[in-house]
């Protein structure tokens, strides 16, 4: 190129720059994550959040549950709630709320009977059968003794009342 300046591109420096640009934010995100799955596979939200006992009533049968995490804290503030929950897949009841809750989704790998989860930011799910899953949920809590839960919920839609214990 006569009379012009010639620029040479050092591909090694560009590659290192791109690695730094891509990896530093990822490492910072991973170090700053709150909640998420613990090594045991369960997620109970931030350490700042407190656990609370609630009752879950279906067809006159009352179950105790423990909830914790940011989504649980906000749900607890709204209690009592009477939810018309719909049947799905013979293993869960769900309700789309007219409010949203904070999310901290993770893939539990396995759902246990009695799990209370949030799907997306507005769908409260109560599981009454155990099964493997690849879906992501935000954990709200768990019924402490789910024996009889499936019978109490029945096979169709049901009203479930969540209350402070």
pLDDT, position 50: 74
pTM of structure = 0.71
**Mean pLDDT, rounded, for 49-74:** 95
- Residue 70 parent element (H or E): helix 70-78
> How many C-beta neighbours within 10 Å does residue 88 have?
11
pLDDT of residue 9: 60
Residue 70, phi then psi, degrees to nearest 5: -65, -45
Task: Provide the pLDDT confidence category of residue 94 given band limits of 50, 70 and 90.
Answer: very high
Q: Is residue 34 pLDDT above 90, yes or no?
A: no
- How is the chain split into domains, by residue range? 1-165
Residues in the chain, how many?
165
Q: Is the per-residue pLDDT at 63 higher than 90? A: yes
pLDDT at residue 157 is higher than 90: yes
Cβ atoms < 10 Å from Cβ of 6? 5
Average pLDDT over residues 13-31: 48
- Of the candidate CATH numbers 2.40.100.20, 3.30.379.10, 1.20.150.20, 3.90.1150.30, the domain formed by 1-165 belongs to 2.40.100.20
């Amino acid at each position: 190129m006569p009379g012009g300046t010639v620029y040479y591109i050092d591909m090694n420096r560009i590659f290192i720059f791109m690695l730094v640009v891509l990896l530093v934010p990822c490492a910072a995100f991973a170090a700053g994550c709150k909640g998420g799955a613990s090594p045991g596979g369960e997620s109970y939200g931030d350490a700042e959040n407190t656990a609370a006992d609630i009752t879950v009533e279906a067809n006159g049968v009352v179950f105790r549950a423990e909830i914790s995490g940011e989504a649980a804290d906000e749900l607890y503030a709204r209690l009592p709630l009477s939810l018309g929950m719909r049947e799905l897949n013979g293993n869960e009841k769900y309700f789309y709320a007219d409010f949203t809750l904070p999310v901290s989704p993770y893939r539990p790998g396995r759902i246990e009977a009695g799990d209370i989860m949030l799907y997306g930011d507005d769908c409260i799910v109560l599981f009454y059968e155990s099964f493997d899953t690849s879906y992501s949920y935000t954990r709200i809590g768990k019924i402490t003794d789910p024996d009889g839960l499936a019978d109490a919920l029945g096979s169709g839609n049901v009203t479930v009342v969540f209350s402070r214990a």
